[in-house]
Structures are given as C-alpha cells and as structure tokens.
A and B are shown apart, each in its own frame.
Chain A
Amino acid sequence: MASKKFLYINRRAPHGSIYAHESLEVVLIGAAFEQAVTLAFIDDGVYQLMQNQDTGGIGVKNFAPTFRALGDYDVNQIYVEQESLELRGLSKDDLIPLTYEDEDDDWAEKDSIHVVSSAELADIIEQQDVILNF
C-alpha cells in the first residue's frame, strides 16, 4: 500500500458542533493505515487541546482525554498555530501536554505539540498529499 502524508486540519471549537469529535474518530481509524499523519489546530480549533475541559454542564461527551492516546497510535506530529493561540490569549501551557515515546531515540519521551507560525504551517500544509479539513 502506497504511503501518503495525511494532514487533518481542525478549525472548530471542541464543543458546540460535532466536527472536532468526529475528526478525532477519523484520525484514530486512519492511524491503523500506517500513513504519515499530521494534525494541525488553527482558529477556534486550538480550544480542542485545552486542559481541564469539563462538559458536564452541556451534557455531551468530553472526548479531550482521547488526545492523550494519540502518541500510542504513532500520531505525534501535532502543530498548533501561534497566531490563533495569541488571538485567544492562550499559550502552549494552556494545552494538554501531549507526548510520545521516540522508538528511534531509546524511547525517550518527547513533546508531540509544536507551536508554529502561520507561515510555517503553510509550509507544512504544502508538503501534504491528503488534507482533511474539519
């Protein structure tokens, strides 16, 4: 099977619509296909990675803890747009600390999340074969 670069762009807030939740379902299924997987979070999509989400008040499932499993699925290229964070008064410290164990580096624990500028993200998008935009 040909190996392609898949990018999932997440643009929406985690709750209020189902796009974010169902996007994560595609990512988890897609991880089994042994393709190169990258996630990008822009605009309100950056809220998806916020720490301490509590959906009790709105009666919907809190799927944010599932992000922590991504490292185990070899999904460890996660890019968050700096401008989107700044516009919302957020920084990387507000985000769930996602990590993975690097098998090429004696299983050292490494950060999966990289905060990048809009211009850097444009380069990353440019390198992809398949882009799924949620």
Chain B
Amino acid sequence: MKFAILVNEGPYTHQASDSAYNFTAAVLRAGHEIVRVFFYHDGVYNGTRLSVPPQDDRNVSDRWAALAQQHEVELILCVAAAQRRGLLDDDEAKRAGKDSSNMAEGFQISGLGQLIDAGIQADRLIVFGD
C-alpha cells in the first residue's frame, strides 16, 4: 500500500513527530511504500540541521534524514511555513538576503502542491498533529 505522511508539529515539544517517524519506519519495514513525508506548520522544524539535542536523547532531524537516505523517501518542508519560521535552504537564504541556511541534509523545500499531490497519489494520507 502507498502511504503519504503529514507532520504538523515540531520535534521535542510534541509526540507527533516521533509517532510519524515510528509509523513511517514501520510502513517501510512492512514492505509498503512511502509516497512522501510532508512537513507543515511547526513540523518544518524537523528539518533543521542546527538542532543539538543532549547526547542521551534522540536526534530527530538526523533520524529522519537517515531513514530518507536508506529508503529514498522524499522529505518535503512547505516553503511558506518554512520561510515564516526561518527554515531556509541555500537558495532560499540567498534569495531572501540571509547570511546562512539551516536545512538538514535529506530534506527539500517545496510547495503545498506536494501535499495535495501526495494525497492524490497515496492510498492513505496519515496526519500526525495536535
């Protein structure tokens, strides 16, 4: 079965991101397909490369990135939500005249159309939020 995943909450503050990760990993383990993981609202903070959690805690961004690399899963941050919250890739940072970018490896920035498209392509769209 084809699943699309929507993550609407940021890491650490809320369980949604952990649940989404665990669900996504379980989907892949069971041999199903992930069409796309889309990050919206504060969910875009999952894609920062500047997060430095304590050594004995999970690293949410790294964990997503590792999963994406291993299974070639698309991790998409909504561009409008990301710009609002200061999540920028190199191109966006340059365009906005900012002195640095902060998006983690494995993530990409794209539009909300990718969320709608994921809903169309997938057999199930699973929303993780508050």
Contact = CB atoms under 8 A, between A and B. Distances in A.
A18 B9 CA distance: 12
Chain B's interface size range is: 10 to 19
B47 to A, nearest CB: 16
Interface residues of chain A: helix, strand, loop or mixed (majority): mixed
Interface string B102-121: 00000000011101110110
A132 to B, nearest CB: 6
A127 interface: no
Chain A's interface size range is: 20 to 34
A64 B115 CA distance: 23
Contact of B127 (A2, A4, A132): A132
A25 interface: yes
A22 interface: yes
Contacts of B40: 22, 26
Contacts, number: 49
A51 interface: no
Interface in A9-45: 18-19, 22, 25-26, 29-30, 32-33, 35
Nearest to B117: A33
A6 interface: yes
A131 interface: yes
A17 to B, nearest CB: 9
B80 interface: yes
B41 A22 contact: yes
Interface string A92-134: 0000000000000000000000000000000000000111111
Contacts of B117: 33
Interface of A: 1-2, 4, 6, 18-19, 22, 25-26, 29-30, 32-33, 35, 129-134
Given A19-B8, A19-B41, 9 more contacts: A4-B119, A29-B116, A30-B112, A30-B115, A129-B119, A130-B120, A132-B119, A132-B127, A134-B8
